[in-house]
Every structure is written in structure tokens, then in C-alpha cells.
Amino acid sequence: MSTTPVAAAAVAVVAGPLVMKHELQPEWGPGIVVEDAPKYWVLFFEKAGLKKFIKEKAKVLVPVTLAADVVAALKSKSLGRSRPRPEGSASAKKKKAAGPKARFLTFKDQLVAFEKLFEGGFQGEKFIADERGRAGSTGKDALKEGAMAAAQAELSAEAFASATPEALFESARKLLKATNIVFPIEGSIPFAAMAPELRPAAVESLKALLHGEGDYGDRLEKFAGAIVLKDSKGVAKTVTWPFATVFGAMVAPAVHTCVKPTAFSTQALTLGIQAEKSQPVTAQGYRQFFSVSAKTNELLKAAGQQPRDLMDVYSFIHRTHAEKAEVPPQAP
């Protein structure tokens, strides 16, 4: 096999099927030109299939000479293959969506941002006033502390054993409305509009989630599948991660986490672990998100912070990603 670099104009007039190789990708094998347009070539490579090149940028292609039977076999293999977009073209670049990026390169950067937002950390006055709330308080001062206290009383195992389904449904509705964790349009509004005949089953599924047996992730997946929500036009709505996880996080914040998928998936990038933000509510998905919460909790404590429970860890993740705080510059 002989090779000789040639200019694009010269290659275009070579008689017979034109065969080339890619100097930087020799493992592709020889490539036969199957389309010779004014501005680009399409080649079928023996080991890499179809590739498209803009001629003025294709400096790495050089013609080669092969036996006639080898060329014929290569041409035969190329027949019927679809044509790709030119490599390096604007249309090809559009198809390469940018991957997700961590907001914080390191956990230390994130901790600096948190401490600028909340002087004194989790025990500081600002965090308590703006995020956690005060035990025993009502109204605007209650925040998450008040919602957790209500949830632990009204959605306890004892409450499920004694209260009516109607009362339990109302307690769940109030919990969805009590904090800003679940947007009304995905939580309290469609939940309150649930058909009366569906409410007892929703209460039973909530009971199984909070007080059932077996893996919590499996119970969470079943709960999300059992809740029937519809929008104002009667179109079914998917149960979101905040909706599915807020109940367990409020009733047992020491062991369960609430999830905001965008913030948690970006947090995962900072921690070097995997958590896909667009996944539906499943047991496997919850395990991914819980690992983000658990690792963050571990790092916070190692840094001398004192989160009370996973609800504080949730607040740390959510607020550092949601606020327009001064963030250390990232490498390009």
C-alpha cells in the first residue's frame, strides 16, 4: 500500500474509485470515497464506517493504492449506508450537547459560598431565620422546623392507626403547602384536586411509604407510581422527586432526604459521583441521590459544620446552588 499526500483539487480528478487513509486514525483502515461534493467528501472506512469531511480541513487524508478486488469489496460494503454530517461543521457541533458542569470545582469552594450566605453556618441566626425555622414557632418563623413537627405528629404511625383517611389526606396536603420544597403546581394544587374516590388509596400508599417494611427506595418507587395527579385540564402529571421525597424527609429527617434533582445532580459532579437529574422516581435513582446527601453530610461534619439532620444537608445543597452567591472562579 503506497501513500502520497495530495491537495484537495488534485484528489478530485483521480480516475476510478478514490481510496484514502486517515493519517491520525490508521486503525480505521482504508476508506473509499462514496460521495465527492464541491466542499466535502464522504468516505466509507473499512473499520470505522462512514465519515464525512470538509475538504479544506481534511489535511489528514492521503490517497492510497489498493488491489482492484480489495477496492471492489470495500465499495460493496459501503452501499446503502446513510451519510453523516461533515466533521467540524456547525450542524455537527450542534448535535454535541454540552455536558453538565459542576457549579463548584471543589467542596471547599462550596463551603466558602455557604458561609458567605449564612454566617455562623447551620447554627447561625441567618440560617435559622431564613431556612430552618424555630422549634415551637408558627407562621413565617416555623419554616421547615414547623413543617417537620406537624408531619411527625399528624403522619405518625399512631395517626395512621387512628385518624380517618380524610384527615390524613388533609394533613398530607397541608405538608405539601407548608414549605417551598414542592412547587404548588406540582404538589399541593394537583394533590388537593385529586378525585375523592382516589384519596383513600393515596393515603394507603403514603402509609406504606412512611411506615411500611422493606427498602425505603422500593417503597418510594411504589408510592410515586400509586399517586394519581392531574393538571387543571385533566392531563396526568408525573410525580416529581420533591413531591415523592418530601414526606419521608419531614417525618424522618435523620434517615431520609428530600431531593431537588437539578441541584443534587450538580452536587454529585462536585463530589465525583453519579446522579442523573432527569431520571424518574425509582429505587435506584433514590439510592443515587441519597449517596449525594450522605457524602455531603460526611464532608460537612469533617469540615467542622454541624448539620442537625439531612434536612439541613438538603438546605446546604439547594441554597448554594440556587443563590446568586459569590462563587470562586472555575477553570475553563
Each residue's pLDDT expressed in tens, for the chain with a length of 332 residues? 444 443 333 333 334 678 999 887 888 889 999 888 888 889 898 888 888 888 888 888 989 888 888 888 888 887 755 555 544 444 445 545 556 789 999 999 999 999 999 999 999 999 999 999 988 877 777 899 999 999 999 999 999 999 999 999 999 999 999 888 999 999 999 999 999 999 999 999 999 999 999 999 999 999 999 999 999 899 999 999 999 999 999 999 999 999 999 999 999 999 999 999 999 999 999 999 999 999 999 999 999 999 999 999 999 999 999 876 444 444 44
Handedness of CA 214, 216, 222, 223 (dihedral sign): positive
**Sequence-ordered list of residues with C-beta below 8 angstroms from that of 219, at least 6 positions apart, any chain:** 208, 209, 212
CB 300 within 8 A of CB 317: no
**CA-to-CA dists, residue 64 to 73, 76, 234, 278, angstroms:** 15, 18, 65, 47
Question: Pick from 116, 158, 139: which is nearest to 323 by CA?
Answer: 116
- Composition of the chain by helix, strand, coil, percent to 5: 50, 10, 40
In one-letter notation, the amino acid at residue 108 is: K
Strands (E), 172-328: 229-230, 236-237
Question: Pick from 168, 316, 172: which is nearest to 243 by CA?
Answer: 172
CB 143 within 8 A of CB 319: no
Task: Give the torsion through C-alpha atoms of 24, 29, 30, 31, to 10 deg.
Answer: -80
> What is the pLDDT at residue 324?
63
> What is the pLDDT at residue 58?
83
CA 250, CA 46: separation in Å to the nearest integer?
A: 60
CB 74 within 8 A of CB 30: yes
> What is the pLDDT at residue 97?
54
Per-domain boundaries in the chain: 8-95, 107-322
> What is the pLDDT at residue 8?
38
| DSSP assignment string, 286-324 | HHHHHHHHHHHHHHHHHTT----SHHHHHHHHHHHHHS-
Q: Is 156 exposed, middle or buried (0-12, 13-18, 19+ CB in 10 A)?
A: middle
CA 267, CA 316: separation in Å to the nearest integer?
A: 10
> What is the pLDDT at residue 98?
59
Strands (E), 152-231: 229-230
CB 49 within 8 A of CB 21: no
pTM over 0.85: no
Strands (E), the chain: 19-22, 31-36, 40-45, 49-54, 61-63, 229-230, 236-237
